Amino acid sequence: MPLNAAQVRHLRSLAHHIKPVVLLGQHGLTESVMAEIELALEHHELIKVRVPGMDREDKQDVIEVICERTGAELVQAIGHMAVLFRKRAKDSQISLPR
């Protein structure tokens, strides 16, 4: 489900005050990190992921892989931080504007 501009603005405002939930370490994107991202998305719906120590293209590739494998939407990527959103199937806590 692609996000429109109003939804992205709303999610960015919600994400402004949250801390990164998942930090990629020196081994990069491992299966355990992917499992942690899955759990965080299921629990929080809107998360920040810190992707340090890579150049811009590598970071973008890692973020794209995370989005593809989790089904999450990229809300924003600034510096070493990526904000991801995946709406829960039921009991969603975040309501998106139209």
What pLDDT is stored for residue 54 in this prediction?
83
Name residue, tokens 């989005």.
67
28 to 10, 15, 42, 75, 94: CA distances (angstroms): 30, 23, 21, 21, 29
- Each residue of 7-35: pLDDT tens digit? 999 999 999 999 999 999 888 899 999 99
Could you tell me how many helices (H) and strands (E) the chain has, helices first? 3, 4
What pLDDT is stored for residue 72 in this prediction?
96
* Predicted model pTM: 0.92
What pLDDT is stored for residue 90 in this prediction?
84
What pLDDT is stored for residue 23 in this prediction?
92
User: CA-based Rg of the chain, rounded to a whole angstrom?
Assistant: 13
What pLDDT is stored for residue 49 in this prediction?
96
What pLDDT is stored for residue 25 in this prediction?
85
- Each residue of 39-95: pLDDT tens digit? 999 999 999 999 988 889 999 999 999 999 999 999 999 999 999 999 988 888 888
Contact 81, 59 (CB under 8 A): no
